[in-house]
Chains A and B, each alone.
Chain A
Amino acid sequence: AQKVTQAQTEISVVEKEDVTLDCVYETRDTTYYLFWYKQPPSGELVFLIRRNSFDEQNEISGRYSWNFQKSTSSFNFTITASQVVDSAVYFCALTTAYDGTASKLTFGTGTRLQVTL
């Protein structure tokens, strides 16, 4: 069985602060994929990043960075110099798909990030 845990229910920061959203996952598969999705107040789910289990390189995209550590089964997401537009619910998700198959995403419970002026 797969499980994704996002222990932080809600985080409030002041604009320009850095913030890290935690994600811990469980799976018995050796090949898996991790994702972060953003759900702004308008409700849609926006894909942010995918990480493969065999690639532990961290990734940076503008103000966003992701830290994948297999040893601790964690895939944390950091927003540097947060902005009000970053206010949203962020979901971490996991799948153990194989090429050529459809495979469900297992989502965490989400972390609501509130960025204020």
Chain B
Amino acid sequence: EPEVTQTPSHQVTQMGQEVILRCVPISNHLYFYWYRQILGQKVEFLVSFYNNEISEKSEIFDDQFSVERPDGSNFTLKIRSTKLEDSAMYFCASQRKGAFEQYFGPGTRLTVT
């Protein structure tokens, strides 16, 4: 069964460094999302992406964040200058056109020290 994959599973970085989180959505899906979950808290929406552009973004998704689909398979989230409060689990999700359920990857745990 096809699934969303994410790399790395765990990333440790120093404050102020740039990080890129990578996702490979399910191949016939057209809508892509990033969410984050601070430890022990609820899952929060960051950004949605369709047809090579951002569809919607939350107030969390400020100028330090960007997303890109550099080729036909990858979907990346970049944080330019990480802060301690960016430490969280980041989930990528994808969705097929005509469906409404989103399928999530296993997540990348980002630790900013």
Q: Please report A residues at the B interface, Cβ cutoff 8 Å.
A: 33, 35, 37, 42-47, 50, 91, 93, 95, 97, 99-110
Contact = CB atoms under 8 A, between A and B. Distances in A.
A97 B50 CA distance: 13
Contact of A105 (B45, B50, B106): B45
Contacts of B75: none
Q: Interface size for chain B: under 10, 10 to 19, 20 to 34, or 35 or more residues?
A: 20 to 34
Residue among B89, B93, B97, B100 with max Cβ neighbours from chain A (10 Å): B100
B104 A104 contact: no
B33 A102 contact: yes
Given A95-B100, A107-B42, A107-B44, 19 more contacts: A37-B104, A43-B107, A43-B109, A44-B104, A45-B43, A45-B93, A45-B104, A99-B98, A101-B55, A102-B56, A103-B48, A103-B56, A104-B33, A104-B45, A105-B43, A105-B93, A106-B45, A108-B42, A109-B42
A104 B58 contact: yes
A42 to B, nearest CB: 8
A8 to B, nearest CB: 14
A102 B107 contact: no
Given A47-B101, A50-B100, A102 B50 contact: yes
B101 A35 contact: yes
B100 A110 contact: no
Nearest to A37: B104
